[in-house]
């Protein structure tokens, strides 16, 4: 049986897979006196059978971590009227089915945006200045044996192409302005309120950049947006930083370019098939790897706790949601 909070009179919120927040802080992290969690991951029943058993009682779904909210799941749960995501990206939720069924969706809003922007800049600095690689050079005792470490590349003044100038992309741009970097961007639409150069063509953006920082949402349109042509345009001195979703980049093509020296390096917090990472990357000292942890700070998790609980309590109190996503 799946664990259910003690008060059977409270409305039920379905959790499909163990949220990272529960693993870090315990399963009371999102608790409230206004709802109770139904934890499918603790049940021995096949998922379809479990969901049909509780089809009429579950009113909301907490989408966290690797849990995918498919059209089938929503069809099996006809009483669901809200999906609360603990992340910004919504590529693991069938938004079209939510829209068709009149199901409201909330995400993490601006929670973690500052941390993601910090991480992107950190990855860029690490790759260009070879900090992680230099750390390994010292720890392995190579400094006395091989002498000075190879030269790195300057960060200040670099031409930075940002793919997706939303909240996170804008935060990255503002940070890198302090390094006297020259900012350009590609986005769905040109933003007349920013001073940066807009490129509607990604290959043109790449050709005029020393580094591409990927921060757009993953959609059907942005899947493999960064492909062979874009990477070729970036060239041998170019760097890629990805803090968006792994599948925004053609990962196989990225690996090939890195192994064959067709781009300078990469800083990656996200991958196409997490937690599996291409093993070819492990031996490359021009690649910095991070386990999709850009938002993993104590401060962001505290803010997330308040937002998730606030959205659920608002729904069950018939109040406006705090971070509802427009599904138009």
Per-residue model confidence as pLDDT tens digits over 272-282: 999 999 999 99
Return the sign of the alpha-carbon dihedral for residues 156, 161, 164, 170. positive
Report the chain's mean pLDDT, rounded to a whole number.
96
pLDDT cut 70: percent of the chain above it: 98
Average pLDDT over residues 166-195: 97
Give how far the C-alpha of residue 125 lies from the chain's centroid of Cα atoms, to the nearest Å: 20
Supply the residues annotated as catalytic: 245, 274, 292
Per-residue pLDDT band for 10 (boundaries 50, 70, 90) equals: very high
Please say whether the beta carbons of 262 and 236 come within 8 A. yes
The whole-number pLDDT of residue 1 equals: 43
Query: Domain coordinates of the chain in residue numbers?
Result: 12-111+297-316, 113-289
The distance between the two most distant Cα atoms of the chain, rounded to a whole number of Å, is: 70
pLDDT above 90: residue 29: yes
pLDDT in tens, 230-256: 999 999 999 999 999 999 999 999 999
Is 12-111+297-316's fold the same as 113-289's?
A: yes
Q: What is the pTM of this model?
A: 0.93
Query: Which residues, at least 6 apart from 92, have a Cβ–Cβ distance to it below 8 Å?
Result: 63, 66, 67, 68, 69
Per-residue pLDDT band for 199 (boundaries 50, 70, 90) equals: very high
For residue 159, the number of C-alpha atoms closer than 13 Å in the C-beta half-sphere is 12
By C-alpha distance, which of 216, 159, 223 is closest to 188?
216
Per-residue pLDDT band for 201 (boundaries 50, 70, 90) equals: very high
The whole-number pLDDT of residue 13 equals: 98
> Which CATH number does 12-111+297-316 carry?
3.40.50.720
Q: How far apart are CA 138 and CA 147, in angstroms?
A: 10
For residue 48, the number of C-alpha atoms closer than 13 Å in the C-beta half-sphere is 2
Residue 241, both tokens: 């930083």
pLDDT above 80: residue 7: no
- Would you call the peptide bond into 4 cis, given omega within 30 degrees of 0 as the criterion? no
Average pLDDT over residues 127-156: 97
End-to-end CA distance of the chain: 38
113-289: CATH topology: Rossmann fold (3.40.50)
For residue 170, the number of C-alpha atoms closer than 13 Å in the C-beta half-sphere is 8
pLDDT above 60: residue 5: no
The whole-number pLDDT of residue 6 equals: 53
The whole-number pLDDT of residue 273 equals: 96
Per-residue pLDDT band for 4 (boundaries 50, 70, 90) equals: low
């Amino acid at each position: 049986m799946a664990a259910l909070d003690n008060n059977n009179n409270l409305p039920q919120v379905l959790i499909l897979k163990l949220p990272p927040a529960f693993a870090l802080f315990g399963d009371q992290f999102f608790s409230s006196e206004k709802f109770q969690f139904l934890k499918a991951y603790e049940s021995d029943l096949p998922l379809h059978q479990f969901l049909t058993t509780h089809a009429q009682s579950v009113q909301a779904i907490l989408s966290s971590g690797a849990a995918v909210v498919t059209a089938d799941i929503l069809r099996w749960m006809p009483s669901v009227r809200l999906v609360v995501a603990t992340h910004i990206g919504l590529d693991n939720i069938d938004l079209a089915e939510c829209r068709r069924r009149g199901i409201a969706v909330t995400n993490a809003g601006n929670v973690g945006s500052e941390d993601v922007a910090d991480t992107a800049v950190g990855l860029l600095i690490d790759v260009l200045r070879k900090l992680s690689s230099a750390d390994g050079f010292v720890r392995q005792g190579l400094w006395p044996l091989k002498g000075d470490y190879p030269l790195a590349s300057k960060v200040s003044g670099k031409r930075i192409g940002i793919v997706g100038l939303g909240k996170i992309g804008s935060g990255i741009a503002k940070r890198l302005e302090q390094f006297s970097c020259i900012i350009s961007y590609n986005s769905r639409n040109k933003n007349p309120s920013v001073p940066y150069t807009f490129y509607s063509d990604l290959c043109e953006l790449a050709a005029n950049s020393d580094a591409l920082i990927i921060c757009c949402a993953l959609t059907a349109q942005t899947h493999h947006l960064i492909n062979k042509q874009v990477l070729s345009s970036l060239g041998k001195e170019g760097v890629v930083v990805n803090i968006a979703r792994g599948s925004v980049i053609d990962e196989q093509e990225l690996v090939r370019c890195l192994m064959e020296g067709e781009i300078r390096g990469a800083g990656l917090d996200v991958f196409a098939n997490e937690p599996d990472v291409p093993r070819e990357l492990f031996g490359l000292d021009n690649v910095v790897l991070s386990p999709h942890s850009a938002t993993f700070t104590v401060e962001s998790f505290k803010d997330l706790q308040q937002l998730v609980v606030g959205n659920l309590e608002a729904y069950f109190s018939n109040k406006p949601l705090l971070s509802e996503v427009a599904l138009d």
